[in-house]
């Protein structure tokens, strides 16, 4: 039998967009009750973990400069939690993480959550913990509301604070154009702005989602476009009034509909097909309303190992 060689493990993990996000009132724990439909998109990060005497994180790719490399990085929270879970010293976990960013940083597309999900899956393999998907999802929820979805991918209905998931049938592939803003937005500030805008109106229930689920099952982007909605959009636009122009420009460029993704400021535009998405992306990038533009498809799988070259 060959000895175990601790070679690097790399996990690819997708961004998400919320096709529907209805936000209820703040709970005593400070989180808001949600009903949301997530879709995983083909903008991805890659996280590589390897055994190392010098623990730490390095970050490469677009926006890498604004990603923390210390304990506030959610991927490092994942390392610490899994170390504790498996009886290792969380202060000396003996691993290094390398993160390659393809998901917009602080963009409302769960980039930080994605890296945490990827770190969980990679370490589960590197340390041979054999923790099942359900238990890994419970650990993921302790890190952040979006982390379980980053593990699961596809299209899913999320309730609670977004961490309780049921997979949803989505026929065909949907084609998206993603417009990145010049600066990020912090999620707590956007929820706070929604509370401020709502004032003491309420209570706020969570909206109906069945028509959107039917549109997903039919696979018809025109039907889906009519039903996209995000309660956080008004708050994100209030904090970044320029997003109004971006949303308008995407529809003028030929998208079926545009929404702010999650807490923003990234905007996501649904298009009829890939050719339309390429045309909308080209026109939008010439309109000068955003920093950069990407074309993406969804749904795609959740976090998965793309290299596992250990000899065993």
Q: How far apart are CA 72 and CA 251, in angstroms?
A: 37
106 is in an annotated binding site: yes
262 is in an annotated binding site: no
- Min dist CB 46 to ligand C5P, Å, is 21
Q: Give the 3-state DSSP-derived string for the chain, with helices as H, strands as E and coil as C.
A: CCCCCCCCEEEEEEEEEEEEEEEEEECCCCCEEEEEEEEEEEEEEEEEEEECCCCEEEEEECCHHHCCCCCCCHHHHHHHHHHHHCCCCCCCCCEEEEEEECCCCCCCCCHHHHHHHHHHHHHHHHCCCCCCHHHHHHHHHHHCCCHHHHHHECEEEEECCCCEEEECCCCCCEEEEEEECCCCCCHHHHHHHHHHHHCCCCCCCCCCCHHHHHHHHHCCHHHHHCCCEECCHHHHHHHCCHHHHHHHHHHHCCCCEEEECCCCCCEEEEECCHHHHHHHHHHHHHCCCCCEEEEEEECCECCEEEEECCCC
28 is in an annotated binding site: no
Q: Which residues bind ligand C5P (CB under 6 A)?
A: 30-32, 34, 144-146, 161-162, 187-188, 191
Of 165 and 290, which has the nearer Cβ to ligand C5P?
A: 165
Measured at the alpha carbon of residue 181, what is the angle toward residues 21 and 155, in degrees to the nearest 5?
Answer: 35
- Min dist CB 176 to ligand C5P, Å, is 22
Cα 258 to Cα 55, 59, 177, 197, distances in angstroms: 42, 30, 9, 22
72 is in an annotated binding site: no
Whether residue 23 contacts residue 194, with contact meaning beta carbons closer than 8 Å, is answered with yes
Of 70 and 87, which has the nearer Cβ to ligand C5P?
A: 70
Q: How far apart are CA 84 and CA 98, in angstroms?
A: 21
Q: Is 200 a known active-site residue?
A: no
Q: Is 195 a known active-site residue?
A: no
Catalytic annotation, pick one of 16, 101, 115, 231: 16
- Min dist CB 276 to ligand C5P, Å, is 32
Catalytic annotation, pick one of 45, 101, 115, 146: 146
- Min dist CB 190 to ligand C5P, Å, is 8
114 is in an annotated binding site: yes
- Min dist CB 118 to ligand C5P, Å, is 16
Of 96 and 161, which has the nearer Cβ to ligand C5P?
A: 161
107 is in an annotated binding site: yes
Of 74 and 270, which has the nearer Cβ to ligand C5P?
A: 74
Of 31 and 173, which has the nearer Cβ to ligand C5P?
A: 31
Of 79 and 253, which has the nearer Cβ to ligand C5P?
A: 79
- Min dist CB 16 to ligand C5P, Å, is 12
116 is in an annotated binding site: no
Query: Would you list which residues are annotated within the binding site for ATP?
Result: 104-114
Query: Would you list which residues are annotated within the binding site?
Result: 104-114
Residues with a known catalytic role: 16, 146
């Amino acid at each position: 039998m060959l000895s175990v060689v601790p070679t690097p493990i790399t996990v690819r993990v997708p961004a998400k967009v919320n096709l529907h996000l209805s936000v209820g009132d703040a709970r005593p724990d400070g989180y808001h009750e949600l009903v949301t439909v997530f879709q995983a998109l083909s903008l991805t990060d890659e996280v590589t973990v390897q055994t190392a005497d010098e623990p730490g994180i390095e970050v490469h790719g677009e926006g890498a400069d604004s990603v923390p490399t210390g304990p506030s990085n959610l991927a490092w929270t994942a390392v610490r939690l899994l170390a504790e879970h498996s009886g290792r010293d969380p202060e000396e976990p003996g691993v290094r993480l390398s993160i390659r960013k393809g998901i917009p940083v602080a963009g409302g597309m769960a980039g930080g959550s994605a890296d945490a999900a990827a770190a969980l899956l990679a370490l589960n393999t590197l340390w041979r913990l054999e923790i099942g998907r359900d238990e890994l999802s419970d650990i993921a929820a302790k890190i952040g509301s979006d982390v379980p979805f980053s593990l699961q991918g596809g299209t899913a209905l999320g309730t609670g604070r977004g961490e309780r998931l049921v997979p949803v049938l989505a026929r065909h592939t949907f084609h998206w154009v993603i417009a990145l803003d010049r600066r990020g937005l912090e999620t707590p500030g956007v929820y706070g702005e929604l509370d401020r805008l709502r004032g003491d109106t309420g209570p706020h229930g969570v909206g109906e989602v069945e028509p959107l689920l039917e549109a997903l099952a039919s696979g018809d982007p025109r039907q889906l476009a009519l039903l996209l909605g995000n309660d956080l959009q008004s708050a994100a636009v209030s904090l970044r009034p320029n997003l109004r122009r971006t949303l308008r420009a995407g529809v003028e460029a030929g998208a079926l509909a545009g929404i702010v993704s999650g807490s923003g400021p990234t905007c996501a535009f649904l298009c009829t097909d890939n050719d339309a998405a390429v045309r909308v992306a080209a026109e939008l990038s010439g309109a000068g309303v955003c920093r950069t533009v990407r074309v993406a498809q969804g749904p795609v799988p959740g976090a998965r190992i793309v290299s596992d070259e250990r000899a065993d």
